[in-house]
Structure 1
Amino acid sequence: MSALILALIAGAVVGIALGALGGGGSVLAVPALIYLLGFTPAAATTASLIIITATSLTALYAHARNGNVRWRAGALFATAGLLPAAAAGAAASRLPQPVLTATFAAIAAHAAVKLLRPSQVSTGQAPVVQPAKAVGAGAGLGALTGLLGVGGGFLAVPALVTVLAFEMQTAVGTSLLVISANSMASLATRGATATGIDWAVIGPFMGAAILGGWDGKRLASKITGTLLQRTFAIVLLVVAALMLVDALT
């Protein structure tokens, strides 16, 4: 199968995940770029950031049109995580990669279990967000994202649901604001590594991801919050299991 076809298929899957679940882009994009399209890990990370930034911004616009984005809480959440992410990123270089991968798997599994608990399923009522909680949750997520290198969306959605009591569709939309901000901030520090990117592959990948993001958003609007939340939790458990296997082998 040609690289173009693989890029289109992988891009569509990444876009649908981001649009419907508000996360999973980097977790899916990086392995696809490395194992399917032959990118080096460094190039795959930078290319993934480019793809996720464009796709997240497009999906964010689609969710915002339906009122599924809490701008003030999302901005607090994203801004609070920038400095902790930078500090944790510097510390991550001193830790073995298997330890980081296993840590992420454990945290992701814990978040999934919390989402599967009946008491954690949102009632659909708009929550009153306490700024201190939004800042605290955002700082914690930023530290984890900087330390572990992945997981912005996959950890943002559970945090918005379980800590800030967001309804699932609103958590998905607001998560895209957080992902967009984090991705642009990370991409700004990687300008030099973007020079070797194969745009003949990244262009179609990104285009398919953007279109997939719109499809994912429409899919999310047709599913109840409870089903969407449980689907997200199951996907999160699968990702955690795969990452744990990778860490142990």
Structure 2
Amino acid sequence: METTEILGYIGALIVGLVLGLVGGGGSILTVPLLVYLLGYSPVIATAYSLFVVGSSSLVGVIQKHRKKLVDFKTGLAFSFPSFLAVYISRRYIVHSIPESLFTFGSVTITKNMAIMIFFALIMLLASVSMIKNTKEKNLININQSYYKTFIQGLIIGTITGIIGAGGGFLYVPALVLWANLPMKKAVGTSLVIITLNSLIGFIGDWQNLKVNWSFLLFFSFLTILGIIIGGNLSKYVSNKSLKKGFGYFTLIMAIYIIYKEI
């Protein structure tokens, strides 16, 4: 086993620890890990990320359900437009994007470059979301028609489908503002959406890609192991401080990816 592969598997364990401690951010680490350390293309990396995040989030749903922090009815209702968009994105949109998009001066913007830059921009949004101190009492709950939620679900699903992310940083505020859920229950409920979105999105990729199952299953196993360890450690760590620290780390990673690609 090569050094980079060993580091990749250690990274998988760290991804799980982050998910267990912070409750999100798995894909933010998984995609760069697969691309820059293990040498996978962004298309394959985002596909594998969907499986890793989906299977890991399923474990998170079980953990949160035991604590009565999951609203399955709301989660499933919101999941429908989202997983439709994720599946269509992974099955058709991502694989239909041409390898070379356009040339800007002496720089050719490729499909892989565009996916990673788009991923980095979403990471920037995620980092701001994690760094900013938003108190639940300052959030305004707005009840709205389901067709609006359906459209919003399609938009978020398309974004998460393209970048191969779970999208927890987008779904949690949506569930608080649109579904009127308390913050802790919104986090647990978002895992239902993330699980469905990620695994159904991966099915869309499975029909287009040759999957290295031995690697993917072992990588996912280590991530889930990390989630269990992180979940047990979370009671000893300040979630607020950890989330803000991870937000700054995400910001640095986003800047690094943009620098690396451009």
TM range (shorter): 0.7 to 0.9
- Distance in 1, Cα, partners of 2:161 & 2:233: 31
1:31 deviates by 2.8
The CA RMSD over aligned residues, in Å, is 3.7
Alignment CA distance shift 1:166-1:121 (3 Å): farther
- 8 A contact 1:76–1:135 mirrored in 2: no
Question: What is the match of residue 204 of structure 2?
Answer: 189
Alignment gaps of 5+ in structure 2: 102-108
User: Alignment partner of 1:81: what SS?
Assistant: helix
Alignment CA distance shift 1:102-1:11 (3 Å): closer
Write out aligned runs for 1:88-237 (5 A). 90-91=92-93, 93=97, 97=111, 98-114=113-129, 116-118=131-133, 120-123=134-137, 132=146, 134-150=149-165, 152-160=167-175, 168-192=183-207, 195-197=210-212, 199=214, 201-223=215-237, 226-227=240-241, 229-231=243-245, 233-237=247-251
- Distance in 2, Cα, partners of 1:166 & 1:228: 23
Question: What is the match of residue 9 of structure 1?
Answer: 10
1:205 deviates by 2.1
Deviation string, structure 1 residues 214-235 (Cα, Å, up to 9, x no partner)? 2222344455564455345434
Structure (1 or 2) with the larger CA radius of gyration: 2
TM-score, length of structure 1 as denominator length: 0.74
Alignment CA distance shift 1:198-1:85 (3 Å): closer
Identity of aligned residues (%): 31
1:15 deviates by 1.0
TM-score, length of structure 2 as denominator length: 0.71
1:130 deviates by 5.4
1:16 deviates by 1.6
- Distance in 2, Cα, partners of 1:113 & 1:230: 9
- 8 A contact 1:22–1:157 mirrored in 2: no
Question: What is the match of residue 20 of structure 2?
Answer: 19
Alignment CA distance shift 1:204-1:99 (3 Å): closer
- Distance in 2, Cα, partners of 1:105 & 1:158: 20
Alignment CA distance shift 1:107-1:206 (3 Å): closer
- Distance in 2, Cα, partners of 1:244 & 1:190: 25
- Distance in 1, Cα, partners of 2:7 & 2:14: 11
1:40 deviates by 4.7
User: Alignment partner of 1:69: what SS?
Assistant: coil
- 8 A contact 2:70–2:188 mirrored in 1: yes
1:185 deviates by 0.7
1:175 deviates by 2.6
Alignment CA distance shift 1:198-1:78 (3 Å): closer
Alignment CA distance shift 1:232-1:74 (3 Å): farther
Alignment CA distance shift 1:28-1:149 (3 Å): same
1:61 deviates by 0.8
Question: What is the match of residue 243 of structure 1?
Answer: 257
Alignment CA distance shift 1:191-1:104 (3 Å): closer
1:138 deviates by 2.5
